[in-house]
Structure 1
């Protein structure tokens, strides 16, 4: 199995703060989500999160006019320049203080950032070949308080800056003789937005209280006159001073001199008492809220996702969590893995959702909650059709559904019991007792009717569902059990315990086959209020589709993949580098340490001198009523896709998707000197199709393989498939399954898949364990195309029926009209007679 998984998408992350930007064509919205940015395609109804990230939450972002570059600035003023074409980070820069806003000029030659009470104008990167991508051009002073917003004129000649001192300043981006700066007053609250009219210096300003001021200029943009350059102006002023004997200094323009004595740019100093251009208030209005019409709406879990599950075909993801408020509003979200959007939300639970699961059919979602109910939702009608409860109130912390979809069980964290229901009737079948501690996790065997339950009482119990629901086997652990899962073939059981170990057992004999000590691989982070590093452990386990690897995560920023046979760590993924979250750093931050202890233990807002009270034992999410609440990084649930090409993690930041991208990996197979693109195309010219396919797979370049396959005549597909060796059958089937998902040649690739499965079906069945992920991916692709085509066909059928009914109705009206006209003619003839 390959481990080249890379960050693919982030789902369920909600907007915190920062500005939104539209793409150049206006079809996409670019929004900050934590320390990353998401692109929401309004036209194609898709979302995508870029892999580039800042060290802390993004406070503002700017997009170049051509849509190729983005500047992301975090809360501390650290900025990165990102290419929106290649998704790569091009440059790092630090502004050394928080930045309030950033904006590119419409011509793309400059950009302005505002911090404190100054506006800094830089040369836009990419225009000139310079070592420093951010070259400072000018600094503009004028506001007495922090700046808040920026807007440019359409020709990039001027820009406006709003401030918390209730004024708006207009600055010239170039040397204009009749405009250097101008201050606009009149508001009674903080300026939150300023906007120029198209091709005009007229503008609108909006304050926080809702006041809209309209400003009209007595000068058009064409009326701005070029002023002398700074060097020429300085010489003229010095000459004038010498002639007049004056010693007054110019307060409008100064130099920025670096440490080496080199002039880095200019400083424009403004004063509200000396206006350079006459403007005035023509109208003042108060904005009112109008009726809303949603074009696009997305929402996610407010705080933590507790669990997730893939549908059997890998097309959908379901998540469960809570919003962390006083009045909890737990939400169950259903996500489309292709579009990255949520299309169904279930809100029937009245408390936190602790676990979710799909049935084997993929049309029913089951969820367990702390409100004492287990609910089943129908994905055809999107309704809660079954609600299962216990005889006495219980808080359900775990959930499992058997392979047939007929049995549903949930574990209680207060009564230590397991409740078993029938999905068909909703009746409670049995209450399984035996555990002496809270039941932390449940899992059904995929091949037998056996339930595995793990508890804090340091045991794993195997329950036989066919033999009066009795305990079949009891496995003893060295510490409290936290997670349990079966291998896809049901021949192995993995258990995670509190001491950081993962143990493997044989369910049939109850013998332990191996263990992995993973405590050191987690690299536990230290919370700001902790004096010692807490001992963390894995809380979620998931087998890969082929059963050769296991995915493990817990209260850490790392997710580990282990090889089960060798019991070694294969790869470790850092799911987040966002320092705005707690427990991110392994060691204490010396910058926050004083002689009295950590600054995080001092609550500056209370003023009672008692400091911050430590959280109670067992508190997972922290004290959300505190003045300064920082979410803690943790992975609450993990799940491999049935196709094996991606896996998902429910974390503090949201739902993270990691997937394989084979197009970026060069991985040849059995390569020698004769395997070249020229030799492959030579085989294609001689119509040696089977030989060309074998050589293309040995070179293993995806565009070349696609070129060879699509060149094969349709009537030769069966002949080529029958002559392929077994090892290339697997490779070709895998390629067809991955290509079919995005290709428009639907019938062509379906013919390849049909011939491969028909001619080599028995051999593929013998090695079903290795081929299972490929077959599941093929089913996922076929199902997606089937859904799209069925919708199109239904739409066409309804349109045809409507057109037929309309024509029939018009024909009846025409017949009735003709009959009436005939009757009138007969009456007229009878009257004449």
Structure 2
């Protein structure tokens, strides 16, 4: 029951800006969620918090503690990155195109339409209204597209669609109210950056960049005004670029010498250079700025779409709409790299803190790349599925997860790190079914292109292809326990094809169904194959010895999928009317039926003619999956919910909501009548006047020809649904292939305890006292009764290796499952490998009979332990092999000498 969202895999990067916190944490939006990638460890996690729609802008505080996100509905979330929780929420009245924290982290600059708003950054305190608006600048004539702070957090550069960049001062001083204008650009401003002089540590230049690939360099040449006192009274002529016209002899662009005498007078009046430095900070936009150089990236007709500047290295990176990026050494504008990484627009480009890594995002293709420009090598190269994920499967040790999608690709992910390490793209049509063979060395895939392919997971190649005499479209796949026989169901001919895995020959063709065969599964305990079809039947085939014998289970509606319980004594099938039928495959009797229409009901399409009360009609479960012990079953389909049922009691245990993303159709239960017009729903009306160049074209989701009528996408607007479910063999996690991507949920028992097993003496202080007195056996039993994960692990490590056998024999059986789970977690992080393996060995010796008698309840924990041991065995085997070859090399070199 205690499953929580853990990660999001296979979902593409769809737009917005990426940021890097510190030097190695890449933070990027993925739909309405945030993905955080550790570039050093190559681990990716997705934050559990969701926005109301797709996220368009993000910003991270300089210390890396806070993250600010703004979605397409102009709703803002202030997130604590360490705890991964939302601290505050608020909404803006207009679209936000730019956002940035000040260098000291105290302020936030937000471009809200034409307005530049300066907000006080909230902290960790609980406040009634944490966001405080400090100041609003209404100087821009069009939307603000670029922001940058000065190092002292006193000035802001604001680039706008009105082709200008404004230098705005946060201090309200007399005579400083009008911003300085950087003019001359002929297209929308994409970036504006302060550049500091390394010797003086003061702002000396400004770079402004526009969409027409122009890069302007502006040089600060001192102050014309005179500060009479520290209260800010300023006298002197207006600065160049302000709306006031200067004298004819001193027009914009003239180069005047720095007034050294004026500086000396000020220093003499103040008596120290420090006061002049303080005064200098408030004179930056009152001084003279001259356009010293114009450069062009020479990429026409392509447009410049993204840029970033590294202030320490004085490097500028720019991305273009043709997939080319350029790296330039400033201020001389020397091209270091000019390379093509894609054919589509680069929607974001950013430096890391040290400036040695470049991050690029291509929203059209869903790519995120991290490139080290000095060694010219990739640090990270991730790409989600371009279209919807159709199927997925876990490896037997639950370490790997394979996904297949409408984009004809198969991706294999490491579940623990959330990263994709191999992509197979040999299929020429949508991948519809996947299956891992025992041993994890072979992956099977079925596709609409008429082939079933076998993939070698050691050499990452397609080593066998199964075909039919005439072209067929495969939509289901199964393999027997021995791996000798491969079966695939078809969409068009309604047949089941049987091949030999060793020879690749077609052994048999099973005919009898009168509709597409969407479900195939072998019994876990016998060679019986169960198939479900749209002809309203489930059939059982004896593939090896039946000689055509078939047993048929009739239904009243089309059967969408079928699933065997792990012990092979029960068969579940879902039908088009939203019901789940449970059969006894041995006696051929219907055991009971669960009506899930009301459970799965929720969410209406924008074009739905039904009322909210009748929205349950047409809802059905398209995928079923039993738990590892067979006690519950997961069901998902054409809804925003995934239902968990208790098989024995036939009751709904829990409903998992897939998403709250309003950018998808079918999320809202009640539609807003204000958005309904004569031409149809307002959200589905194309706006011809929309500025496509500002964002990414709406990505239309792929749809298969055999999809159910109620689940078709609406004119490019994705419909929320679940296509496939699979529970990991360990039983600790499960994955769902949804419109949002592959959602991974895992179980967390660390905070669950049984209060009936507690008394006044069972406390963490009692555990500490027992450890201090060297009573490790008593301390371990107390920690198991408390069920505190950290205390259990601490007590396990505290046991003397000599006493392991005695302590293991004193553990009651009811705590055995919790202890095995603790061992599995310790093997992932604890360096005492031999110590933990000795614990496992002694437990098996002492409780071996009990484990065999109650294997069903211990299967999830035992498989988790097997997964950890297998992974460590592989790592040690690789290390030992490399050491062996190194020693052979050293010995051979020694004999030669």
TM-score tier, shorter chain, comes to 0.7 to 0.9
Q: What does residue 417 of structure 2 align with?
A: 339
Q: What does residue 202 of structure 1 align with?
A: 205
Contact 1:179 1:277 in 2 (8 A): no
Q: 1:134 aligns with which of 121, 131, 152?
A: 131
Q: What does residue 120 of structure 2 align with?
A: 123
CA–CA distance in 2 between the matches of 1:511 and 1:141? 75
The Cα of 1:799 is off from its aligned counterpart by: 3.7
2:654 matched to 1:571?
Answer: yes
The Cα of 1:447 is off from its aligned counterpart by: 1.0
The Cα of 1:732 is off from its aligned counterpart by: 1.9
* 1:233-261 CA-partner distances (Å, limit 9, x unpaired): 9xxxxxxxxxxxxxxxxxxxxxxxxxxxx
Q: What does residue 778 of structure 1 align with?
A: 865
The Cα of 1:29 is off from its aligned counterpart by: 0.8
2:545 matched to 1:535?
Answer: no
The Cα of 1:84 is off from its aligned counterpart by: 0.5
CA–CA distance in 2 between the matches of 1:293 and 1:188? 36
Q: What does residue 215 of structure 2 align with?
A: 212
Q: What does residue 307 of structure 1 align with?
A: 391
Q: 2:105 aligns with which of 104, 108, 111?
A: 108
| SS of equivalent residue, structure 1 residue 648 | strand
CA–CA distance in 1 between the matches of 2:396 and 2:92? 49
Q: What does residue 271 of structure 1 align with?
A: none
The Cα of 1:98 is off from its aligned counterpart by: 1.2
* 1:237-293 CA-partner distances (Å, limit 9, x unpaired): xxxxxxxxxxxxxxxxxxxxxxxxxxxxxxxxxxxxxx8442122122223642464
CA–CA distance in 1 between the matches of 2:405 and 2:43? 23
Query: What's the RMSD between the two structures over aligned residues?
Result: 2.7
Q: What does residue 511 of structure 2 align with?
A: 433
The Cα of 1:512 is off from its aligned counterpart by: 1.1
Q: How does 1:708-719 map to 2 (within 5 A)?
A: 708-719=795-806
Contact 2:484 2:502 in 1 (8 A): yes
Q: How does 1:629-640 map to 2 (within 5 A)?
A: 629-640=716-727
The Cα of 1:319 is off from its aligned counterpart by: 0.3
**Unaligned segments of structure 1, at least 5 residues:** 234-274, 324-329, 608-614, 812-833
Q: What does residue 185 of structure 2 align with?
A: 187
The Cα of 1:595 is off from its aligned counterpart by: 5.9
Q: 1:593 aligns with which of 676, 688, 708?
A: 676
Q: What does residue 698 of structure 1 align with?
A: 785
CA–CA distance in 2 between the matches of 1:332 and 1:343? 11
Distance 1:410 1:499, change over 3 A: same
The Cα of 1:162 is off from its aligned counterpart by: 1.2
Q: What does residue 490 of structure 1 align with?
A: 568
Q: 1:545 aligns with which of 604, 624, 628?
A: 628
| SS of equivalent residue, structure 2 residue 545 | coil
Larger Rg: 1
Relative to the length of structure 1, the TM-score reads 0.86
Contact 2:638 2:711 in 1 (8 A): no
* 1:419-448 CA-partner distances (Å, limit 9, x unpaired): 011111111110000001111111111110
Q: What does residue 368 of structure 2 align with?
A: none
The Cα of 1:733 is off from its aligned counterpart by: 2.1
Q: How does 1:18-57 map to 2 (within 5 A)?
A: 18-24=16-22, 26-57=23-54
The Cα of 1:463 is off from its aligned counterpart by: 0.3
2:288 matched to 1:278?
Answer: yes
The Cα of 1:661 is off from its aligned counterpart by: 2.1
CA–CA distance in 2 between the matches of 1:625 and 1:767? 47
The Cα of 1:598 is off from its aligned counterpart by: 3.3
Q: How does 1:399-798 map to 2 (within 5 A)?
A: 399-532=477-610, 533=615, 535-594=618-677, 598-600=681-683, 602-605=685-688, 629-668=716-755, 670-798=757-885
CA–CA distance in 1 between the matches of 2:191 and 2:217? 12
Distance 1:127 1:746, change over 3 A: closer
| SS of equivalent residue, structure 2 residue 378 | coil
The Cα of 1:469 is off from its aligned counterpart by: 4.6
Q: What does residue 282 of structure 2 align with?
A: none
Distance 1:521 1:62, change over 3 A: same
2:182 matched to 1:99?
Answer: no
CA–CA distance in 1 between the matches of 2:783 and 2:749? 15
Distance 1:472 1:487, change over 3 A: same
| SS of equivalent residue, structure 1 residue 174 | coil
| SS of equivalent residue, structure 2 residue 170 | strand
The Cα of 1:736 is off from its aligned counterpart by: 1.6
Q: What does residue 13 of structure 2 align with?
A: 15
Contact 1:175 1:228 in 2 (8 A): no
CA–CA distance in 2 between the matches of 1:642 and 1:345? 23
| SS of equivalent residue, structure 1 residue 312 | coil
Relative to the length of structure 2, the TM-score reads 0.80
